[in-house]
Amino acid sequence: MEKIAERIKTLRIEAGLYTRQVGEAIGVSHSTVSRWENCKRIPDALNIKALAKFFNVSADYLLGLDMIN
């Protein structure tokens, strides 16, 4: 669970975005994005897909399943 939280936060910061902007882009609240980043909740499959498309990365990358860690 920590890997996806780290990756969401890193991608967001690297893109220069606020949680509100990410949330608006994928259809969730900014507090939901914040909870994901702080390991309070785990995004479901549809939200992982939306995050992957938004950040132009694979779902495997978000989940920490990529070969390069």
The tokens describing 23, both together, are: 């949330």
Per cent of the chain over pLDDT 70 is 94
User: What are the extents of the domains in the chain?
Assistant: 2-63
CATH topology of domain 2-63: 434 Repressor (Amino-terminal Domain) (1.10.260)
- From CA 61, how far away is CA 3, in angstroms rounded? 9
How much is the average pLDDT of 40-57?
A: 98
- From CA 67, how far away is CA 29, in angstroms rounded? 31
Supply the DSSP symbol for 24: H
pTM score, two decimals? Answer: 0.91
